[in-house]
Amino acid sequence: MRAALAISMGQEGETHSDAEALRTAAQMLDSLGARPDADQQEDLSKRWGEQAMVIDPSTAPPVYRGRALGPSYKKGMVSAVSTVSTEQIFLAGKKASVALVPVSSKPITITISDGQGKNICNRSTSSKPANCHWLPLFTERYRINVQTSARQPVSYYLVLN
């Protein structure tokens, strides 16, 4: 889950105004071809590249390589009284990877189930990315749920392959 690692690194770079970490995270996302999910407008690679340039003008912007398909990421927020659910189709025989990257140190949980409701993955985290990997036997739709036990809303990134 290199895209999840890049997002985690970029968040740390933002927190500490670290131009090198921001540039590295931007370049990693760009080289992986990770782009915002369809309903997300914020391109983290572009934002972090620009922030790195402001902090250290000698920082070169990331090189655009682009590709038609690849990882995506989506920023979201969940509160203690709700569950955020989304569905994603994963292809049979192709490794599926989903990562939940917390934005704060509040507890957050990801649960993934297949089309029949069978639990595929359940991970909790509060600081590092929670990764789920599996090999789908059939091309089907999977449900991804994000929850928190924190009293305040919790922001996160959901990274898909």
Rounded distance between C-alpha atoms, residue 33 and residue 124, angstroms: 27
Question: Rounded to 10 degrees, what is the CA torsion of 84, 87, 90, 92?
Answer: 120
Q: What's the pLDDT score for residue 143?
A: 92
Q: Is 9 helix (H, G, I), strand (E, B) or coil?
A: helix
Q: Is 135 helix (H, G, I), strand (E, B) or coil?
A: coil
Supply the Cα-derived Rg of the chain in whole angstroms.
16
- Establish how many alpha carbons lie within 13 A of residue 41's alpha carbon, considering only the half-sphere containing its beta carbon: 0
Is the confidence at residue 5, as pLDDT, over 70?
yes
At 34, which amino acid appears? A
At 151, which amino acid appears? R
The model scores a pTM over 0.85: no
| DSSP, res 150 | -
Question: Span 74-89, mean pLDDT?
Answer: 86
Backbone angles phi, psi at 94, to 5 degrees: -115, 125
Are 93 and 136 contacting, i.e. CB atoms less than 8 angstroms apart? yes
Are 34 and 157 contacting, i.e. CB atoms less than 8 angstroms apart? no
Is pLDDT larger for residue 1 or for residue 112?
112
Q: What's the pLDDT score for residue 69?
A: 40
Is the confidence at residue 62, as pLDDT, over 70?
no
